[in-house]
């Protein structure tokens, strides 16, 4: 990317990560940890291989990622964020929090991945009642599965299935994520096709983070 030529930390940040796809590659590496070219490609539907290749080279040169040969059994290159790269997390998070207000807009052809279902509650909610017993929520949306584990004051998430969740939420991504992030209420989520099985009260254990997340459903189409 051509430099902005401005002595301003925002411009300098964008000199490095302002290119198309770059921050989404960082997102993938933040969510997945060290992974292969093919994993990245799978998590970045729509990217061309030459572009992914070029961006990884740029990120490497900028010192944001490392390319290391995996140990023998794997025998491939693994990409991972450096400390400098991981330090982008607050910026990526803040962008994602702002982006929540655009999640109501319906675009049925959008790609969707299980780990995106997972990171949203991890990044944009907190545990409401640290004293309460641990709880597990199974999420299913567009066939993608993720698990929320609320334990003490912590909200952890992962891709996949839980053995015996307290609650199973199933529905279109808009309904599941909108409800979890507090952008819509249960009634609206149900209208959008959400179905819940189990103890719906555990939902109260998740509190959407404050900040720029709109408390009231704005006119975004939810």
Partner DNA sequence: CCGTATCCGTGGAGATACTG
Partner DNA sequence: CAGTATCTCCACGGATACGG
Binding site for a copy of itself (CB under 8 A): 1, 3-18, 20, 23-24, 27, 45-46, 84, 87-103, 105, 107, 109-113, 116, 120, 173-174, 211-212, 214, 218
Interface segment toward DNA; rule CB under 7 A; list 19-27, 130-138, 147-155, 164-172? 19-27
Which pair of tokens denotes residue 87? 């330090």
Query: What is the distance between the alpha carbons of residues 92 and 123, in angstroms, rounded to a whole number?
Result: 10
Binding mask 22-51 for DNA (x = CB under 7 A): --------------xxxx------xxxxxx
Check: CB of residue 146 under 8 Å from CB of residue 159.
yes
Q: Which of DNA, a copy of itself, none does residue 48 bind to, with CB < 5 to 8 Å depending on kind? A: DNA
**Please, which residue, 77 or 186, has the CB nearer to DNA?**
77
Residues 6+ apart with CB under 8 A from 78: 34, 35, 36, 67, 68, 69, 70
Please state, as a whole number, how many other Cβ atoms lie within 10 Å of the Cβ of residue 1.
12
Is 6 a residue that touches DNA (CB under 7 A)? no
Query: What is the distance between the alpha carbons of residues 116 and 113, in angstroms, rounded to a whole number?
Result: 5
Query: What is the distance between the alpha carbons of residues 8 and 160, in angstroms, rounded to a whole number?
Result: 42
**Residues contributing to the site for DNA (CB under 7 A):** 1-2, 19-21, 36-39, 46-51, 53-54, 56-57, 76-77
């Amino acid at each position: 990317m051509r430099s902005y030529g401005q002595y301003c930390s925002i411009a300098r940040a964008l000199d490095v990560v302002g290119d198309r796809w770059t921050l989404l590659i960082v997102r993938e590496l933040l969510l997945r940890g060290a992974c292969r070219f093919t994993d990245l490609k799978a998590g970045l539907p729509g990217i061309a291989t030459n572009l992914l290749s070029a961006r990884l080279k740029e990120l490497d040169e900028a010192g944001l990622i490392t390319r290391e040969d995996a140990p023998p059994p794997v025998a491939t290159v693994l990409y991972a964020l450096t400390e400098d790269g991981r330090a982008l997390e607050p910026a990526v998070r803040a962008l994602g929090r702002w982006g929540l207000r655009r999640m109501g807009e319906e675009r049925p052809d959008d790609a969707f991945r299980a780990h995106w279902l997972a990171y949203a509650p991890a990044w944009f909610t907190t545990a409401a009642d640290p004293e309460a017993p641990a709880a597990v929520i199974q999420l299913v949306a567009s066939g993608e599965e993720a698990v929320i584990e609320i334990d003490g004051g912590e909200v952890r998430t992962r891709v996949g299935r839980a053995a015996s969740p307290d609650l199973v939420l199933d529905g279109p991504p808009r309904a599941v994520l909108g409800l979890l992030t507090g952008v819509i209420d249960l009634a609206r989520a149900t209208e959008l096709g959400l179905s819940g099985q189990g103890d719906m009260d555990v939902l109260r254990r998740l509190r959407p983070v404050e900040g720029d997340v709109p408390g009231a459903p704005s006119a975004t189409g939810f």
